[in-house]
Amino acid sequence: MPSPHPVHTFEQPEPPARLKAELRALLALAIPVVLSELGWMTMTIVDLVMVGRLGPDAIGAVGLGNAIYYAPSLFGIGLLLGLDTVVSQAWGAQRYDDCHRWLAQGMYIAAAFTPLLMIGMLGATWVFTGHGVNATVSGLARSYVMLLNWGTLPLIVYGGFRRYLQGVGRVRPVAFALITANLVNLAGNWVLIYGHCGFPAMGVRGSALSTCAARVYMAGVLVWAAWWHESKRGHALFEHWPGPDWGRLRELLRLGLPAALQLVLEVAAFGAATVMASHLNPIALATHEIVLSCAAYTYMVPLGISAAAAVAVGHAIGSGAPKRAGRAGLLSLVLGAGFMALMAVMFLVAPRPILHIWTGDREVLRLGTHILAIVAAFQIFDGIQSVSTGALRGLGETRFPMLINLGGYWVLGLPLGALLCFRLKWGLSGIWAGLTLALITIALVLCARWMKDARRPLVGTGSAPFAGP
């Protein structure tokens, strides 16, 4: 059995030329993935904007419903994040059939976990829309999540095929799927929320149905793209579909479970902040949802760079080039932090025009301007922690980021936010101050860990036992 990490001996170009070439390669990966992440977030923002005409209760309900829904659904997607590591390293080592085998195991995991996730979402909906939440917001949020739940399987299938396509360097179909899915969602919202083309006006329930339809579309596009990729190399995707492989399933879960928990801990932290905001007043909750959408939208860029970093680092490790892996991670960190620095300036300089995209309510604009200034303080750190997590995932390290997220958000940030909000009467500002301290802490620790791990001579995932001839 040959080594899964062959050492290539070839003449290296001069360092400036090498860096320029590697930067171009990284951008070729990152730009379509960033566009897809922006497309993903745009779908949520479009939902909020289009239900915004129904009033603050509808905005709060959709925001609260998404906060409840996305933690368990992203756990399902997170279980497949190990595909970033194993597919990209297999591709870098030129074990192309292994990429297909890993995808199949990811789909078995998706099929097994989806029913459990859907049941968990229903339970979470009743728990987090109960005592202390505005009755109107609570009822709307429940009906929204009940319908949104039916889009869980296509969402997770989309996530698995996306990781596969990114791992083999086919990122354009991912961007295409998300961008065009926004058109599907926009049309569906227009028809179903307000009752056009003969359909009844369904309000927030129409928004949920539209999102489900867009997810079915996204999954279909990526399944077709994967089929096309495999057919071009004479390996029909479904004619040679591998059966369950318990060794590979264990390896994917070893990588995916910590990554899923890390993702859930982060998303659930902001969901918990939303639940805390829902115990204030409708103005504070609507402001929180709008500001959270702003922060989440800018975060999509470093998140896309993070995914590209995982793939670039994985390709380098698979091809036996650890120094190139280190450079890929460093270039990714510079790109992510640089972009978020620009976003911090934008939040400080032009808060009201940004907030006006969602609402013209004077109270929301006044409070939102103050909260956006707090958000500006953690933008750079948010970029650093996201990209560091992706780079570490490319090395096969998923457990450490999960532990740091657990400590940063749930031991430090959220308790402090609750203390400042309710005990010291800071209100919404207290919640966001706690989140800011958590993000700064997580970013510094993860960046330090990446700098340490990137100096190691050679690291990998432990997937060597599955390396084929």
Domain ranges of the chain: 15-461
Cα–Cα distances in angstroms (integers) from residue 453 to residues 27, 311, 393, 448, in the given order: 23, 17, 11, 9
Residue range 313-336, pLDDT digits in tens: 998 888 888 888 888 889 999 999
Residues 6+ apart with CB under 8 A from 285: 56, 60, 63, 64, 134, 137, 274, 277, 278
Residue 460 has pLDDT above 60, yes or no: no
> Using CA atoms in the order 175, 176, 177, 182, what is the torsion angle rounded to 10 degrees?
90
Cα–Cα distances in angstroms (integers) from residue 451 to residues 186, 316, 328, 338, in the given order: 43, 16, 12, 18
Residue range 412-423, pLDDT digits in tens: 999 999 999 998
Q: Are 424 and 362 in contact, with CB atoms under 8 Å apart?
A: no
> How many whole angstroms separate alpha carbon 399 and alpha carbon 262?
8
**Residue whose pair of structure tokens reads 């780079």 in the numeric block:** 391
| Residue 8 CB neighbour total at 10 angstroms | 8
In terms of DSSP H, where are the helices of 246-350? 246-278, 282-318, 322-349
pLDDT of residue 457: 53
Give the DSSP letter of residue 421.
I
pLDDT of residue 467: 35
Four-residue CA torsion sign, 30, 35, 39, 45:
positive
- Split at pLDDT 50, 70, 90, the class of 401 is very high
- Split at pLDDT 50, 70, 90, the class of 15 is low
Residues of the chain with pLDDT > 90: what percent?
Answer: 36
> In b/e form, how buried is each residue of 432-441, taking b as 16+ CB within 10 angstroms?
bbbbbbbbbb
> How many whole angstroms separate alpha carbon 153 and alpha carbon 375?
33
Residue range 82-115, pLDDT digits in tens: 898 999 999 888 888 888 899 999 999 999 999 9
Residues 6+ apart with CB under 8 A from 466: 98, 101, 247, 248, 251
pTM: 0.79
pLDDT of residue 346: 94
Going by C-alpha positions, the residue among 409, 446, 68 that lies closest to residue 265 is 409
pLDDT of residue 132: 65
- For the chain, the farthest-separated pair of C-alpha atoms sits apart, in whole angstroms, at 68
Q: How many helices (H) and strands (E) does the chain have?
A: 16, 0
Long-range contacts made by residues 325-328, C-beta under 8 angstroms, separation at least 24? 325/394, 325/395, 325/454, 326/454, 326/455, 327/19, 327/22, 328/22, 328/26, 328/391, 328/394
